[in-house]
A and B are shown apart, each in its own frame.
Chain A
């Protein structure tokens, strides 16, 4: 593996003996959620995260002999009005892990046919990583 292959992450750290260790992306999960009637961006975001999480069951922590709490969870939410998503409520969905939430412009708002309000679609991308070192 080329040395440069390791440099795809923000959080690169160096071990005392100079060995490279970094945040390794293990699984990527995707989901989508809606708020059909209440124009609630937080609820749509929560559903997007739940959709991403509950479609898969991860066993990667056990496979490597790590704890589930070692998981570093980076959440990226796309919504037309990202500022309206309450991050703390999204954080509450995760049963374990070190969670960070990034909100960005995206998703989709669909106006209702009668002109009264809109349907909100939020998209979620969840990146699960471990701070780890490959010994082989």
Chain B
């Protein structure tokens, strides 16, 4: 049995005026999540509780992200959240505002025994 990666989902989120890094990170995660659905859990009767979910957030100020709030968005699996320096802060000096852009990568892993499945073409 090996832990196989099923999917990498990517997303982007921002907080344009509030300078809320957690909000931007949460939006990035929502964006990443809601462009796909892992239908195999239903189709193949797998247990989504056994899925491992690795979330990586890229953002300009990683220390300002409340990782627990990010973690609470994810509906299934054993979740880990890592926040690293990345994303982008686009500042508008003229209007004294900074827009925070966060990027999210969500990887889902599952222990699959290849012998349990056979293609039938």
Q: A residues within 8 Å of B by Cβ?
A: 1, 5, 13, 15, 21, 24-31, 51-52, 55-60, 62-66, 70, 127, 130-136
Residue in contact with B39 in the complex, picked from A15, A26, A66, A135, CB distance below 8 Å: A26
Residues of A within 8 A of B42 (CB): 25
How far apart sit A26 and B40, CA to CA, in the bound complex (Å)?
4
Minimum distance in angstroms from A13 CB to a CB of chain B: 7
Minimal Cβ-Cβ distance residue in B for A32? B35
Question: With A27-B38, A64-B117 known to touch, is A134 a contact of B44 (CB < 8 Å)?
Answer: yes
Size of B's binding interface in residues, CB under 8 A? 30
Minimum distance in angstroms from A62 CB to a CB of chain B: 7
Question: With A57-B8, A60-B7 known to touch, is A29 a contact of B120 (CB < 8 Å)?
Answer: no
Residue of A27, A127, A135 with most partner-chain B CB within 10 A: A27
Minimal Cβ-Cβ distance residue in A for B113? A136
How far apart sit A94 and B45, CA to CA, in the bound complex (Å)?
28
How far apart sit A13 and B119, CA to CA, in the bound complex (Å)?
13
What are 6 A-B interface contacts by the 8 Å CB criterion? A24-B40, A27-B37, A27-B38, A56-B36, A127-B39, A133-B118
Minimum distance in angstroms from B67 CB to a CB of chain A: 23
A60 & B40 in contact (Cβ 8 Å cutoff): yes
Residues of B within 8 A of A127 (CB): 39
Question: With A65-B114, A70-B121 known to touch, is A28 a contact of B36 (CB < 8 Å)?
Answer: yes
Q: Is B9 positioned at the interface, with any CB of A under 8 Å from its CB?
A: yes
A27 & B36 in contact (Cβ 8 Å cutoff): yes
Question: With A28-B39, A56-B36, A59-B6 known to touch, is A133 a contact of B117 (CB < 8 Å)?
Answer: yes
